[in-house]
Structure 1
Amino acid sequence: MNSNRTALSVNLNKVALVRNTRHLGIPSVTRAASICLQAGAHGITVHPRPDGRHIRGEDVTGLSELVGHHAGAEFNIEGNPFHNLMEHVRRLRPHQCTFVPDSEGQFTSDHGWDFPADAQRLRPLVQEARALGVRVSLFMDPQPQMMAAARAVGADRVELYTESYARAWGTVRQDDVLRGFAEAARAAHEAGLGVNAGHDLNRENLTDFLRAVPGVQEVSIGHALIADALELGYAATVREYLACIERAFS
Protein backbone atom coordinates (compact mmCIF):
# COMPACT_ATOMS: atom_id res chain seq x y z
CA MET A 1 0.00 0.00 0.00
CA ASN A 2 1.05 3.61 -0.65
CA SER A 3 2.43 4.89 2.67
CA ASN A 4 2.39 8.59 1.71
CA ARG A 5 -1.17 8.95 0.50
CA THR A 6 -4.53 7.47 1.38
CA ALA A 7 -4.92 4.10 -0.32
CA LEU A 8 -7.92 3.39 -2.56
CA SER A 9 -9.60 0.01 -2.15
CA VAL A 10 -12.33 -0.73 -4.71
CA ASN A 11 -15.42 -2.56 -3.44
CA LEU A 12 -16.75 -4.85 -6.18
CA ASN A 13 -20.07 -5.90 -4.66
CA LYS A 14 -22.15 -3.98 -7.22
CA VAL A 15 -20.35 -5.66 -10.12
CA ALA A 16 -21.39 -9.02 -8.69
CA LEU A 17 -24.93 -7.76 -8.10
CA VAL A 18 -25.36 -6.97 -11.81
CA ARG A 19 -23.80 -10.29 -12.83
CA ASN A 20 -26.16 -12.22 -10.59
CA THR A 21 -29.24 -10.98 -12.44
CA ARG A 22 -28.40 -13.41 -15.28
CA HIS A 23 -26.55 -16.72 -15.63
CA LEU A 24 -23.93 -15.59 -18.15
CA GLY A 25 -21.05 -14.78 -15.81
CA ILE A 26 -20.87 -11.17 -16.95
CA PRO A 27 -19.75 -8.67 -15.88
CA SER A 28 -16.74 -10.51 -14.50
CA VAL A 29 -15.76 -9.58 -10.96
CA THR A 30 -12.18 -10.75 -11.43
CA ARG A 31 -11.87 -8.85 -14.71
CA ALA A 32 -13.11 -5.71 -12.98
CA ALA A 33 -10.57 -6.20 -10.19
CA SER A 34 -7.73 -6.72 -12.65
CA ILE A 35 -8.53 -3.51 -14.56
CA CYS A 36 -8.86 -1.49 -11.35
CA LEU A 37 -5.55 -2.74 -9.99
CA GLN A 38 -3.77 -2.12 -13.28
CA ALA A 39 -5.18 1.43 -13.25
CA GLY A 40 -3.56 2.08 -9.87
CA ALA A 41 -6.06 1.00 -7.20
CA HIS A 42 -4.23 -0.14 -4.09
CA GLY A 43 -6.60 -2.90 -3.11
CA ILE A 44 -9.87 -4.76 -3.56
CA THR A 45 -12.69 -5.01 -1.02
CA VAL A 46 -15.60 -7.44 -0.96
CA HIS A 47 -18.48 -7.92 1.47
CA PRO A 48 -19.85 -11.47 0.99
CA ARG A 49 -23.21 -11.57 2.73
CA PRO A 50 -24.81 -14.85 3.88
CA ASP A 51 -27.56 -14.68 1.23
CA GLY A 52 -25.01 -14.47 -1.61
CA ARG A 53 -26.95 -11.67 -3.29
CA HIS A 54 -23.79 -10.19 -4.77
CA ILE A 55 -20.28 -11.48 -3.90
CA ARG A 56 -20.19 -15.28 -3.60
CA GLY A 57 -17.69 -17.67 -2.06
CA GLU A 58 -16.05 -18.49 -5.38
CA ASP A 59 -15.58 -14.76 -6.05
CA VAL A 60 -13.75 -14.34 -2.75
CA THR A 61 -11.40 -17.20 -3.63
CA GLY A 62 -10.72 -15.95 -7.14
CA LEU A 63 -10.11 -12.39 -6.02
CA SER A 64 -7.75 -13.50 -3.28
CA GLU A 65 -5.65 -15.30 -5.87
CA LEU A 66 -5.78 -12.36 -8.29
CA VAL A 67 -4.75 -9.75 -5.71
CA GLY A 68 -1.89 -12.01 -4.67
CA HIS A 69 -0.40 -11.58 -8.15
CA HIS A 70 -0.31 -7.77 -7.84
CA ALA A 71 2.68 -6.69 -5.77
CA GLY A 72 1.73 -4.28 -3.02
CA ALA A 73 -2.03 -4.66 -3.50
CA GLU A 74 -4.20 -5.67 -0.55
CA PHE A 75 -7.33 -7.77 -0.23
CA ASN A 76 -9.93 -6.68 2.33
CA ILE A 77 -12.85 -8.95 3.20
CA GLU A 78 -15.58 -7.28 5.23
CA GLY A 79 -18.67 -8.59 6.95
CA ASN A 80 -20.18 -9.74 10.20
CA PRO A 81 -17.76 -12.08 12.02
CA PHE A 82 -20.72 -13.84 13.63
CA HIS A 83 -22.16 -14.81 10.24
CA ASN A 84 -19.95 -15.96 7.35
CA LEU A 85 -16.91 -13.68 7.47
CA MET A 86 -14.61 -15.82 9.58
CA GLU A 87 -14.80 -18.85 7.28
CA HIS A 88 -13.24 -16.70 4.53
CA VAL A 89 -10.67 -15.22 6.90
CA ARG A 90 -9.58 -18.66 8.14
CA ARG A 91 -9.36 -20.08 4.64
CA LEU A 92 -7.73 -17.23 2.74
CA ARG A 93 -5.99 -15.06 5.33
CA PRO A 94 -6.52 -11.73 3.54
CA HIS A 95 -4.38 -8.72 4.29
CA GLN A 96 -7.26 -7.16 6.19
CA CYS A 97 -10.69 -8.08 7.46
CA THR A 98 -13.24 -5.46 8.42
CA PHE A 99 -15.78 -6.49 11.04
CA VAL A 100 -19.19 -4.94 10.29
CA PRO A 101 -22.25 -5.38 12.56
CA ASP A 102 -24.75 -6.14 9.78
CA SER A 103 -27.84 -8.24 10.27
CA GLU A 104 -28.22 -11.13 7.81
CA GLY A 105 -30.75 -9.47 5.53
CA GLN A 106 -29.55 -5.90 5.93
CA PHE A 107 -29.80 -3.75 2.81
CA THR A 108 -26.47 -2.01 3.44
CA SER A 109 -24.22 -1.22 6.38
CA ASP A 110 -25.74 1.53 8.51
CA HIS A 111 -24.06 1.60 11.93
CA GLY A 112 -20.86 0.72 13.74
CA TRP A 113 -20.00 -1.47 16.73
CA ASP A 114 -21.07 -0.39 20.18
CA PHE A 115 -18.82 -0.52 23.23
CA PRO A 116 -18.84 -1.84 25.85
CA ALA A 117 -21.85 -3.86 24.63
CA ASP A 118 -19.98 -5.68 21.83
CA ALA A 119 -16.56 -5.93 23.47
CA GLN A 120 -16.74 -9.37 25.06
CA ARG A 121 -17.98 -11.22 22.00
CA LEU A 122 -15.71 -9.39 19.56
CA ARG A 123 -12.46 -9.84 21.45
CA PRO A 124 -11.85 -13.59 20.75
CA LEU A 125 -12.60 -13.21 17.04
CA VAL A 126 -10.30 -10.19 16.74
CA GLN A 127 -7.59 -12.19 18.47
CA GLU A 128 -8.16 -15.18 16.19
CA ALA A 129 -7.90 -13.11 13.02
CA ARG A 130 -4.75 -11.38 14.21
CA ALA A 131 -3.21 -14.74 15.14
CA LEU A 132 -3.77 -15.74 11.49
CA GLY A 133 -1.73 -12.72 10.43
CA VAL A 134 -4.77 -10.72 9.31
CA ARG A 135 -5.11 -7.01 10.13
CA VAL A 136 -8.44 -6.28 11.83
CA SER A 137 -10.46 -3.13 11.23
CA LEU A 138 -13.72 -2.40 13.07
CA PHE A 139 -16.53 -0.50 11.35
CA MET A 140 -17.29 2.39 13.70
CA ASP A 141 -19.47 5.46 13.95
CA PRO A 142 -17.39 8.66 14.32
CA GLN A 143 -17.59 8.74 18.12
CA PRO A 144 -14.25 9.70 19.70
CA GLN A 145 -15.14 8.08 23.03
CA MET A 146 -15.40 4.66 21.35
CA MET A 147 -11.90 4.55 19.86
CA ALA A 148 -9.96 3.46 22.94
CA ALA A 149 -12.49 0.67 23.46
CA ALA A 150 -11.97 -0.53 19.90
CA ARG A 151 -8.25 -0.71 20.55
CA ALA A 152 -8.85 -2.51 23.84
CA VAL A 153 -10.48 -5.48 22.06
CA GLY A 154 -7.35 -5.79 19.90
CA ALA A 155 -8.29 -4.02 16.66
CA ASP A 156 -5.53 -2.64 14.44
CA ARG A 157 -7.71 -0.05 12.70
CA VAL A 158 -11.18 1.42 12.61
CA GLU A 159 -13.17 2.18 9.49
CA LEU A 160 -15.13 5.38 10.08
CA TYR A 161 -18.68 5.10 8.73
CA THR A 162 -18.97 8.17 6.51
CA GLU A 163 -22.64 8.19 5.50
CA SER A 164 -23.42 11.11 7.84
CA TYR A 165 -20.67 13.14 6.17
CA ALA A 166 -21.99 12.32 2.69
CA ARG A 167 -25.46 13.56 3.70
CA ALA A 168 -24.01 16.76 5.16
CA TRP A 169 -21.63 17.51 2.28
CA GLY A 170 -22.52 20.72 0.48
CA THR A 171 -24.81 21.90 3.28
CA VAL A 172 -24.32 24.28 6.20
CA ARG A 173 -23.66 21.23 8.38
CA GLN A 174 -20.61 20.05 6.44
CA ASP A 175 -17.92 21.76 8.53
CA ASP A 176 -19.43 20.69 11.85
CA VAL A 177 -19.73 17.08 10.72
CA LEU A 178 -16.17 17.09 9.42
CA ARG A 179 -14.92 18.38 12.76
CA GLY A 180 -16.59 15.39 14.41
CA PHE A 181 -14.84 12.99 12.05
CA ALA A 182 -11.51 14.74 12.62
CA GLU A 183 -11.96 14.38 16.39
CA ALA A 184 -12.77 10.68 15.97
CA ALA A 185 -9.68 10.15 13.81
CA ARG A 186 -7.44 11.93 16.31
CA ALA A 187 -8.90 9.84 19.14
CA ALA A 188 -8.23 6.69 17.13
CA HIS A 189 -4.62 7.71 16.52
CA GLU A 190 -4.13 8.53 20.19
CA ALA A 191 -5.42 5.05 21.05
CA GLY A 192 -2.90 3.47 18.68
CA LEU A 193 -5.33 2.69 15.87
CA GLY A 194 -5.00 3.20 12.15
CA VAL A 195 -7.92 4.90 10.41
CA ASN A 196 -9.85 3.79 7.33
CA ALA A 197 -13.08 5.33 6.03
CA GLY A 198 -15.95 4.34 3.81
CA HIS A 199 -19.62 4.52 2.81
CA ASP A 200 -21.10 6.97 0.29
CA LEU A 201 -17.77 8.61 -0.49
CA ASN A 202 -17.62 9.78 -4.10
CA ARG A 203 -15.73 12.00 -6.53
CA GLU A 204 -17.45 15.13 -5.23
CA ASN A 205 -16.95 14.70 -1.49
CA LEU A 206 -13.76 12.62 -1.14
CA THR A 207 -11.17 15.40 -1.38
CA ASP A 208 -12.87 17.57 1.24
CA PHE A 209 -13.05 14.62 3.62
CA LEU A 210 -9.38 13.75 3.32
CA ARG A 211 -8.30 17.36 3.71
CA ALA A 212 -10.23 17.68 6.96
CA VAL A 213 -9.71 14.28 8.57
CA PRO A 214 -6.10 13.54 9.51
CA GLY A 215 -4.23 10.35 8.78
CA VAL A 216 -6.78 8.34 6.80
CA GLN A 217 -4.84 5.32 5.57
CA GLU A 218 -7.47 3.78 3.30
CA VAL A 219 -10.84 4.55 1.76
CA SER A 220 -13.07 1.75 0.57
CA ILE A 221 -15.43 2.88 -2.19
CA GLY A 222 -17.91 0.76 -4.07
CA HIS A 223 -21.34 2.05 -5.05
CA ALA A 224 -20.32 5.47 -6.35
CA LEU A 225 -17.17 4.19 -8.03
CA ILE A 226 -18.98 1.41 -9.89
CA ALA A 227 -21.77 3.83 -10.86
CA ASP A 228 -19.13 6.18 -12.29
CA ALA A 229 -17.51 3.27 -14.10
CA LEU A 230 -20.74 2.64 -16.01
CA GLU A 231 -20.13 5.97 -17.70
CA LEU A 232 -16.34 6.33 -17.65
CA GLY A 233 -15.04 2.77 -17.57
CA TYR A 234 -13.18 1.12 -14.69
CA ALA A 235 -9.70 2.42 -15.46
CA ALA A 236 -10.67 6.05 -16.02
CA THR A 237 -12.83 6.00 -12.90
CA VAL A 238 -10.03 4.65 -10.72
CA ARG A 239 -7.74 7.36 -12.05
CA GLU A 240 -10.38 9.99 -11.20
CA TYR A 241 -10.58 8.77 -7.60
CA LEU A 242 -6.81 8.66 -7.29
CA ALA A 243 -6.75 12.26 -8.51
CA CYS A 244 -9.27 13.18 -5.78
CA ILE A 245 -6.92 11.69 -3.24
CA GLU A 246 -3.91 13.52 -4.66
CA ARG A 247 -5.76 16.85 -4.54
CA ALA A 248 -6.34 16.36 -0.83
CA PHE A 249 -2.58 16.32 -0.25
CA SER A 250 -1.63 19.13 -2.65
Structure 2
Amino acid sequence: MHRILTRLAAAAAVVVLGAGAASAETKVGIAAEPYPPFTVPDAAGNWSGWEIEIMDALCEEAKLDCTIVPTAWDGIIPALTSGKIDMIIGSMSITEERLKVIDFSDKYYNTPTAIIGLKEVEIEPTNESLSGKLLGVQRSTIHENYVRKHFPDAEVKTYQTQDEANQDLVAGRLDAVQADSLALATFLESDSGKACCDMKGEVEPDEEILGPGVGVGIRQGDTELKEKLNKAIAAIRENGTYEKISEKYFDFDIYGK
Protein backbone atom coordinates (compact mmCIF):
# COMPACT_ATOMS: atom_id res chain seq x y z
CA MET A 1 0.00 0.00 0.00
CA HIS A 2 2.83 2.36 0.90
CA ARG A 3 4.47 1.70 -2.50
CA ILE A 4 1.22 2.42 -4.35
CA LEU A 5 0.76 5.73 -2.52
CA THR A 6 4.37 6.65 -3.24
CA ARG A 7 3.91 5.96 -6.94
CA LEU A 8 0.68 7.97 -7.03
CA ALA A 9 2.39 10.88 -5.31
CA ALA A 10 5.27 10.74 -7.78
CA ALA A 11 2.87 10.64 -10.72
CA ALA A 12 0.98 13.63 -9.33
CA ALA A 13 4.24 15.53 -8.95
CA VAL A 14 5.09 14.87 -12.60
CA VAL A 15 1.68 16.19 -13.67
CA VAL A 16 2.11 19.34 -11.58
CA LEU A 17 5.61 19.92 -12.88
CA GLY A 18 4.46 19.36 -16.44
CA ALA A 19 1.62 21.85 -16.03
CA GLY A 20 4.01 24.39 -14.55
CA ALA A 21 6.43 24.00 -17.44
CA ALA A 22 3.64 24.43 -19.99
CA SER A 23 2.53 27.71 -18.45
CA ALA A 24 5.98 29.06 -17.57
CA GLU A 25 6.16 32.82 -17.86
CA THR A 26 7.95 34.27 -20.90
CA LYS A 27 9.34 37.74 -20.18
CA VAL A 28 9.15 40.03 -23.21
CA GLY A 29 11.46 43.03 -23.19
CA ILE A 30 10.23 46.21 -24.84
CA ALA A 31 11.79 49.68 -24.81
CA ALA A 32 10.74 51.54 -21.67
CA GLU A 33 9.88 54.73 -23.56
CA PRO A 34 6.91 55.31 -25.92
CA TYR A 35 7.51 54.47 -29.58
CA PRO A 36 4.22 55.18 -31.36
CA PRO A 37 2.53 53.60 -33.21
CA PHE A 38 4.39 50.48 -32.12
CA THR A 39 4.38 50.70 -28.30
CA VAL A 40 2.49 53.30 -26.27
CA PRO A 41 1.97 53.27 -22.46
CA ASP A 42 -0.94 54.91 -20.66
CA ALA A 43 -0.87 56.62 -17.26
CA ALA A 44 -1.52 53.30 -15.51
CA GLY A 45 1.43 51.60 -17.23
CA ASN A 46 -0.66 49.56 -19.65
CA TRP A 47 0.82 49.20 -23.14
CA SER A 48 -0.90 49.36 -26.51
CA GLY A 49 0.13 49.76 -30.14
CA TRP A 50 0.74 47.69 -33.26
CA GLU A 51 3.74 45.83 -31.87
CA ILE A 52 1.93 45.03 -28.60
CA GLU A 53 -0.98 43.52 -30.54
CA ILE A 54 1.43 41.54 -32.73
CA MET A 55 3.20 40.33 -29.57
CA ASP A 56 -0.12 39.17 -28.10
CA ALA A 57 -0.99 37.34 -31.32
CA LEU A 58 2.41 35.62 -31.50
CA CYS A 59 2.30 34.57 -27.85
CA GLU A 60 -1.22 33.18 -28.25
CA GLU A 61 -0.29 31.28 -31.40
CA ALA A 62 2.91 29.91 -29.83
CA LYS A 63 1.08 29.12 -26.56
CA LEU A 64 3.44 31.30 -24.52
CA ASP A 65 2.43 33.00 -21.26
CA CYS A 66 3.97 36.40 -22.02
CA THR A 67 4.61 39.27 -19.63
CA ILE A 68 5.87 42.69 -20.73
CA VAL A 69 9.07 43.92 -19.08
CA PRO A 70 9.87 47.57 -20.01
CA THR A 71 13.65 47.88 -20.29
CA ALA A 72 16.06 50.73 -21.08
CA TRP A 73 17.00 50.35 -24.73
CA ASP A 74 20.76 50.52 -24.24
CA GLY A 75 20.50 47.68 -21.70
CA ILE A 76 17.94 45.49 -23.45
CA ILE A 77 20.40 43.08 -25.11
CA PRO A 78 22.36 42.55 -21.85
CA ALA A 79 18.99 41.93 -20.14
CA LEU A 80 18.30 39.19 -22.70
CA THR A 81 21.70 37.51 -22.55
CA SER A 82 21.70 37.55 -18.74
CA GLY A 83 18.26 35.92 -18.55
CA LYS A 84 16.34 38.87 -17.11
CA ILE A 85 14.08 38.71 -20.16
CA ASP A 86 13.45 35.87 -22.62
CA MET A 87 12.90 37.78 -25.85
CA ILE A 88 12.86 41.28 -27.30
CA ILE A 89 9.89 42.64 -29.24
CA GLY A 90 10.89 46.24 -29.75
CA SER A 91 11.40 47.11 -33.43
CA MET A 92 14.90 45.62 -33.25
CA SER A 93 16.46 45.22 -36.68
CA ILE A 94 18.25 41.99 -37.55
CA THR A 95 21.90 42.95 -38.14
CA GLU A 96 25.18 41.08 -38.46
CA GLU A 97 26.56 42.95 -35.46
CA ARG A 98 23.68 41.90 -33.20
CA LEU A 99 23.80 38.32 -34.50
CA LYS A 100 27.25 38.03 -32.94
CA VAL A 101 25.58 38.33 -29.52
CA ILE A 102 21.95 37.20 -29.87
CA ASP A 103 19.72 35.37 -32.35
CA PHE A 104 16.51 36.45 -34.08
CA SER A 105 13.27 35.01 -35.32
CA ASP A 106 12.24 35.54 -38.92
CA LYS A 107 11.36 39.16 -39.66
CA TYR A 108 7.89 40.41 -38.77
CA TYR A 109 8.13 43.82 -40.45
CA ASN A 110 10.42 46.00 -42.52
CA THR A 111 10.12 49.74 -43.19
CA PRO A 112 12.61 52.24 -44.67
CA THR A 113 14.84 54.61 -42.70
CA ALA A 114 14.29 58.34 -43.19
CA ILE A 115 15.35 61.83 -42.15
CA ILE A 116 13.05 64.66 -41.11
CA GLY A 117 14.11 68.21 -40.35
CA LEU A 118 13.11 71.80 -39.74
CA LYS A 119 10.95 73.20 -42.52
CA GLU A 120 13.17 76.23 -43.00
CA VAL A 121 16.36 74.14 -43.39
CA GLU A 122 17.09 72.75 -46.86
CA ILE A 123 18.31 69.19 -46.31
CA GLU A 124 18.60 66.03 -48.38
CA PRO A 125 19.63 62.63 -46.95
CA THR A 126 23.20 62.88 -48.24
CA ASN A 127 26.53 63.57 -46.55
CA GLU A 128 27.07 66.67 -48.66
CA SER A 129 23.71 68.15 -47.71
CA LEU A 130 24.10 67.25 -44.02
CA SER A 131 27.67 68.55 -43.76
CA GLY A 132 27.87 70.84 -40.72
CA LYS A 133 24.23 70.20 -39.78
CA LEU A 134 23.16 69.06 -36.31
CA LEU A 135 21.72 65.55 -36.75
CA GLY A 136 20.03 63.75 -33.86
CA VAL A 137 19.74 59.96 -33.43
CA GLN A 138 18.86 57.54 -30.65
CA ARG A 139 22.03 56.04 -29.22
CA SER A 140 22.86 52.34 -29.46
CA THR A 141 20.67 51.96 -32.55
CA ILE A 142 21.24 51.07 -36.18
CA HIS A 143 20.56 54.72 -36.97
CA GLU A 144 23.53 55.89 -34.93
CA ASN A 145 25.72 53.35 -36.73
CA TYR A 146 24.35 54.46 -40.10
CA VAL A 147 24.87 58.21 -39.68
CA ARG A 148 28.42 57.74 -38.38
CA LYS A 149 29.27 55.72 -41.49
CA HIS A 150 27.33 57.58 -44.17
CA PHE A 151 27.20 61.15 -42.83
CA PRO A 152 30.69 61.70 -41.37
CA ASP A 153 30.56 65.43 -42.00
CA ALA A 154 27.35 65.96 -40.00
CA GLU A 155 27.51 66.95 -36.34
CA VAL A 156 25.87 63.98 -34.65
CA LYS A 157 24.10 64.24 -31.28
CA THR A 158 22.82 61.08 -29.59
CA TYR A 159 19.83 60.68 -27.27
CA GLN A 160 18.60 58.09 -24.82
CA THR A 161 15.18 58.02 -26.54
CA GLN A 162 13.79 59.02 -29.93
CA ASP A 163 11.26 61.26 -28.20
CA GLU A 164 14.09 63.33 -26.68
CA ALA A 165 15.63 63.79 -30.14
CA ASN A 166 12.26 64.81 -31.58
CA GLN A 167 11.71 67.36 -28.82
CA ASP A 168 15.12 68.92 -29.41
CA LEU A 169 14.21 69.17 -33.09
CA VAL A 170 10.95 70.93 -32.17
CA ALA A 171 12.91 73.32 -29.94
CA GLY A 172 15.27 74.17 -32.80
CA ARG A 173 18.33 72.62 -31.14
CA LEU A 174 18.75 70.23 -34.09
CA ASP A 175 18.48 70.59 -37.83
CA ALA A 176 17.29 67.03 -38.45
CA VAL A 177 16.82 63.54 -36.99
CA GLN A 178 17.09 60.06 -38.49
CA ALA A 179 14.93 57.09 -37.48
CA ASP A 180 12.43 54.57 -38.82
CA SER A 181 10.30 56.28 -41.47
CA LEU A 182 7.02 55.11 -39.95
CA ALA A 183 7.86 56.36 -36.46
CA LEU A 184 8.93 59.71 -37.93
CA ALA A 185 5.76 59.93 -40.04
CA THR A 186 3.72 59.41 -36.87
CA PHE A 187 5.62 62.25 -35.19
CA LEU A 188 5.00 64.53 -38.20
CA GLU A 189 1.27 63.95 -37.75
CA SER A 190 1.40 65.37 -34.21
CA ASP A 191 0.69 69.06 -33.56
CA SER A 192 4.32 69.85 -32.73
CA GLY A 193 5.60 67.82 -35.67
CA LYS A 194 3.29 69.53 -38.14
CA ALA A 195 4.34 72.95 -36.91
CA CYS A 196 8.11 72.52 -37.09
CA CYS A 197 9.17 69.91 -39.50
CA ASP A 198 8.80 67.96 -42.72
CA MET A 199 10.08 64.78 -44.35
CA LYS A 200 13.45 65.18 -46.05
CA GLY A 201 13.57 61.72 -47.61
CA GLU A 202 14.64 58.11 -47.16
CA VAL A 203 18.31 57.21 -46.77
CA GLU A 204 20.11 54.88 -49.17
CA PRO A 205 19.81 51.20 -48.16
CA ASP A 206 22.69 49.53 -46.29
CA GLU A 207 21.64 46.03 -45.29
CA GLU A 208 24.87 45.42 -43.39
CA ILE A 209 23.87 48.17 -40.94
CA LEU A 210 20.10 48.48 -41.29
CA GLY A 211 19.48 44.76 -41.74
CA PRO A 212 16.78 42.88 -43.72
CA GLY A 213 13.98 43.74 -41.30
CA VAL A 214 12.82 43.54 -37.69
CA GLY A 215 12.73 40.25 -35.78
CA VAL A 216 12.14 38.97 -32.27
CA GLY A 217 15.43 38.96 -30.38
CA ILE A 218 16.19 35.72 -28.51
CA ARG A 219 19.19 34.15 -26.79
CA GLN A 220 21.62 32.22 -28.96
CA GLY A 221 20.92 28.51 -28.76
CA ASP A 222 17.25 28.92 -27.83
CA THR A 223 16.19 26.89 -30.86
CA GLU A 224 12.88 25.74 -29.36
CA LEU A 225 11.65 29.30 -28.81
CA LYS A 226 12.93 30.37 -32.25
CA GLU A 227 11.01 27.56 -33.92
CA LYS A 228 7.82 28.44 -32.04
CA LEU A 229 8.12 32.12 -32.99
CA ASN A 230 8.86 31.43 -36.66
CA LYS A 231 5.84 29.13 -36.88
CA ALA A 232 3.70 31.74 -35.10
CA ILE A 233 4.81 34.55 -37.45
CA ALA A 234 3.98 32.40 -40.48
CA ALA A 235 0.64 31.36 -38.96
CA ILE A 236 -0.67 34.87 -38.15
CA ARG A 237 0.29 36.04 -41.63
CA GLU A 238 -1.46 33.07 -43.21
CA ASN A 239 -4.64 33.16 -41.10
CA GLY A 240 -5.23 36.91 -41.55
CA THR A 241 -4.48 38.00 -37.98
CA TYR A 242 -1.41 40.02 -39.05
CA GLU A 243 -3.38 41.90 -41.73
CA LYS A 244 -6.34 42.48 -39.40
CA ILE A 245 -4.09 44.07 -36.76
CA SER A 246 -2.05 46.07 -39.29
CA GLU A 247 -5.00 47.64 -41.10
CA LYS A 248 -5.99 49.38 -37.86
CA TYR A 249 -2.70 51.29 -37.92
CA PHE A 250 -1.41 51.48 -41.50
CA ASP A 251 -2.66 51.96 -45.05
CA PHE A 252 0.25 49.97 -46.54
CA ASP A 253 1.91 46.58 -46.10
CA ILE A 254 4.30 47.04 -43.16
CA TYR A 255 5.73 43.54 -43.68
CA GLY A 256 7.67 44.92 -46.63
CA LYS A 257 9.54 43.08 -49.34
Whether TM-score is above 0.5 comes out as no
- Between the two structures, name the one with larger relative contact order (CA 8 Å, sep ≥ 6): 2
